[in-house]
Structure 1
């Protein structure tokens, strides 16, 4: 399969950036395609007007099938001949995409519109949340079926969501789940008839929230700070954001109830 077929597009929808990945006919992630995806995501993160990013597949029925096994096999040959060292994998474009997603200061929603296995799920797990179409039939980390394991920290990311025991068993057995089972397991946050529609609805909700508060939540969730650090961040938010202070005063003055605010 030619890498020239890979196609990553970046669309602007007001405060929402939509990134589509396609690599027909199989929808696998190559190194070149990962570099394209990294660049598109970097542009979306850097755009001041963007508040939320959606990542989805550009082919019907495929989010990202998995990493390109042919490239992995060739890399194994190069390693065996001593032409490259294992350390090279840490700097791969694929790992760069996963790290970029995980550290994004803006929420990234994975709209899983189809098959999402191996490297595809590893990238989805690096996103802030996951929405899947109800008809998706294959979500998982089945690398053990071809004698390897998730190579971009997918096991740890999965464990952070469903716990180490369940993540280990799922990876050891190469389990594949449909959308409903993935939702029940906690891997997918919501299932809807059309993933992109559901993701767009959530994105619009998040885009309407205070950007400074969203940024702080995103940063704290990545840094896993101490209680003192969280308290300092809370104080800084109140000090530096007059719009937030005004909103709090309006809440008190109007005798609002938090549970009645959309």
Structure 2
């Protein structure tokens, strides 16, 4: 791969984005990433992924503006929401026709295909049974912020870095899922503020509003992300997929539909042999201190940390 570096340590795979000096996302970068993610999705040995950057001080500056501009300059007409929707449907149809994508590119609609490829990368991450941890080692703007939002956890280096959605400053809107994921992560008010202002925020402000989960010393960022990934890699993959689906899909539909999605994944996870073994072991662990004359607080203090660390049960499914 030209733009990605990878390393496997146990059940954790680390991916470094490597397109110096600014680490722009491009169609080629996303092509490599989608191929790698599909491989990971079919590899039962990979249970967690750390996504970071090989470029010092930069996670992703943003998606290549030159590629976006090329895509729209070649378009024969100015689009409105109706014609843009038709172009997207045509792009979806072209996926199933030999040479369809090349034909779209010649017709000036190649940018639509690139946009859908970006969304496919993020979809694979959100729907996977693999846990994704973003280690933001620097600037994460536009498509970089959106790529981090497709991860399950975001750790960011403390320092003079920026994160946000500046697309409106050049007259466009986030196109990699930013409006949708920011609304789900931060709520509509914060999402509107970030997207309308366009001004990046610093790591401390990002932590304050919940855009990132933790701030870490830059020298410790990768180690902390890998430790977090290694711990979460020990969770049940069936439960991981169920939680991600219930939150991402169920959280954006009416409550009754969301509850149905949750119930479906609850029953699916509970029926696995490893979950049955784990629940039986948990009951035994809870009963032991009680039988010895203690109470549930003894288990919480002494036994629960082993469960949190993922060292008590091996979830092999």
> Is structure 2 residue 240 aligned with structure 1 residue 214?
yes
Of 71, 78, 101, which residue of structure 1 is paired with 2:74?
78
CA contact (8 A) 1:106 1:218 kept: no
| Structure 1 segment 50-89 matched on structure 2, within 5 A | 50-80=46-76, 83-85=107-109, 88-89=112-113
Q: How does 1:6-85 map to 2 (within 5 A)?
A: 7-80=3-76, 83-85=107-109
Q: Which runs of 5+ in 1 are unaligned?
A: none
Q: What displacement does 1:220 show? A: 2.2
**For the Cα contact (< 8 Å) 2:186–2:209, is it kept in 1?**
yes
Q: Distance in 2 between matches of 1:135 and 1:91?
A: 31
Task: Give CA-to-partner distance per residue, 1:118-145, whole Å, 9 cap, x none.
Answer: 0111111111110001115110001111
* 1:119-134 alignment runs, 5 A limit: 119-134=143-158
- Verify the 8 A CA contact 1:130 1:189 in the aligned structure 2: yes
1:34-87, CA deviations, whole angstroms, 9 ceiling, x for partnerless residues?
111111222222211111111111111111110001111111111136923488
Change (3 A) 1:26 1:238: closer
1:196 is matched with which residue: 222, 228, 233?
222
For the pair shown, the structure with the greater C-alpha radius of gyration is 2
Select which of 180, 187, 191 maps to 1:163.
Answer: 187
Task: Give the length in aligned residue pairs.
Answer: 258
Separation in structure 1 between the aligned mates of residue 48 and residue 36 of structure 2, nearest angstrom: 14
Instruction: Confirm or deny that 1:109 pairs with 2:105.
Output: no
Give me the whole-angstrom Cα distance separating, in 1, the residues matched to 2:68 and 2:50.
27
Q: Distance in 1 between matches of 2:125 and 2:76?
A: 31
Q: Structure 2, unaligned stretches of length 5 or more?
A: 79-106, 251-256, 290-295, 306-317
Could you list the structure 1 runs, at least 4 aligned residues long, displaced by more than 6 angstroms after superposition: none
The 2-side partners of 1:113 and 1:249 are apart by 42
**TM-aligned CA distance change 1:153 to 1:193, over 3 Å:** same
Aligned residues of 2:115 and 2:176 also touching (Cα < 8 A):
no
Which stretch shows the higher mean deviation, 248-257 or 192-201? Answer: 248-257
